[in-house]
Amino acid sequence: MAESNVKKNKKRLVGIVLSDKMDKSRVVVVECVKKHTVYGKFLTKRKKFMVHDEKNKSKIGNHVIIEETKPISSKKRWAFVKIVDTKK
């Protein structure tokens, strides 16, 4: 059977927009809180992603959902899906 027609689930993450100075691009930070297995201390891990935002909808401070996609440029592998919460 040809598996090229089968859609695969794409990763989705929720993050906060850090920079909107570029045209059609955003920098989004995603935070993950995990508990250390031995010491029990909670650790916060942060990772920045370059995100493609075709219509420049998101602004700094917005909580957004991003989805992985095929490479758009040398650094962009994520696409903007929607705004979850706006800044207040």
Tokens of 43: 């650790």
Give the number of C-alpha atoms closer than 13 A to the C-alpha of residue 9, restricted to the C-beta side.
Answer: 3
Q: How many residues does the chain have?
A: 88
pLDDT by residue (tens digit) across 27-48? 999 999 999 999 999 999 999 9
81 Rama sector, left if φ>0, alpha if ψ -120 to 50, beta otherwise: alpha
pLDDT by residue (tens digit) across 51-77? 999 999 999 999 999 999 999 999 999
Distance CA 74, CA 88 (A): 33
Query: How far does Cα 70 stand from its chain's mean position?
Result: 14
> For 1-76, where are the E strands, in sequence order?
12-19, 25-35, 42-52, 63-68
CATH class, 12-85 region? mainly beta
